[in-house]
Amino acid sequence: MTALILDGKALAEQIRAELKEQVATFSAETGVVPCLAVILVGNNAASEIYVRNKQQACEKIGVKSEMYRLAETASETELLTLFETLNRNDAVHGILVQLPLPKQIDEQNVLDAIVPQKDVDAFHCDNVGRISQGRPRFLPCTPYGIQELLIRNNIATAGKRAAIIGRSNIVGKPMAALLMQKGLGGDATVTVCHSRTPDVAAIARQADVLIAAIGRAKFITADMVKPGATVIDVGMNRTEEGLVGDVDFAAVKEIAGAITPVPGGVGPLTVTMLLRNTLTAAKLFKNR
């Protein structure tokens, strides 16, 4: 039996329609327009596309987007000075710096320089700590989108085994934290696999929910998937055959109960949850 295809693009459009109404109501009641500042350093082609998509998404739901460009040769001091200005600007509610950054800039120093109340990517150590304690201010956009995808498709996580392939700070670690929390979209028993994990396939085969975020094309094969499992593919790998995920989609969809495609799965939800975080940031500012 072929798996249910989890359409992240359609869900993203649904959530954005909801957000558009929420932004309009918030702005009408408070006179405040949520504002996201996006910083791009250098001329990375992929980053240019991502930033443009974020700006267009903001415009469509009524969120103001401000773009700040710095040269490829910009120093860390220049970037931190810009953050100081944006941190003090009450008209800016969310700050996002597009990664990766040029090698002369320490990424962690930069992420820590954003005040936690404007850290809509949820990368600041304060926000990471809050997530681990189950009292988040914001949730990291990709894990947030995955959790929303599971909830809205009525995919149970409580009491289920979840395996996450990859332990990055952006996806793997926060995803594990969300799935372990009490409540809707949580209460799972979670295993995180990484480059030092022996027999990843054996662990993957036990998972009711399998999340691949390793950055290796078609790493998850059909023999690594439990029949009927939900498979979430976070990977985006450019190959000779085009854009493919970390999952061998054609083979795995014949084994899994539900699966996300690439593209059109997790990706659209990542930007959508950034928009939700920006609205949340504006609300927090207004209620402080």
To the nearest 10 degrees (0 to 180), the angle between helices 8-30 and 267-286 is 20
Q: What pLDDT is stored for residue 194 in this prediction?
A: 96
Collect the ranges in the chain with pLDDT lower than 70: 1
Rounded CA-CA distance 222/252 in Å is 5
98 is catalytic: yes
Catalytic residue among 117, 118, 121, 208: 121
Asked whether this chain's domains 31-116 and 141-267 adopt the same fold, the reply is yes
Q: How far apart are CA 208 and CA 164, in angstroms?
A: 11
Tell me, letter by letter, the H, E, C secondary structure of 233-253: ECCCEEECCEEECCECHHHHC
3-state secondary structure of 37: strand
Q: Is 54 a catalytic residue?
A: yes
What is the residue whose two structure tokens read 């949730």?
A: 139
Point out the catalytic residue in the list 98, 160, 187, 286. Answer: 98
pLDDT value at residue 287: 85
pLDDT for residue 1? 67
pLDDT in tens, 72-100: 999 999 999 999 999 999 999 999 999 99
Domain ranges for the chain: 31-116, 141-267
Does the 31-116 domain belong in CATH 3.90.1530.10?
no
Q: What pLDDT score was predicted for residue 162?
A: 98
Report the predicted TM-score, pTM, of the whole model to 2 decimal places.
0.96
CATH class, range 141-267 = alpha beta
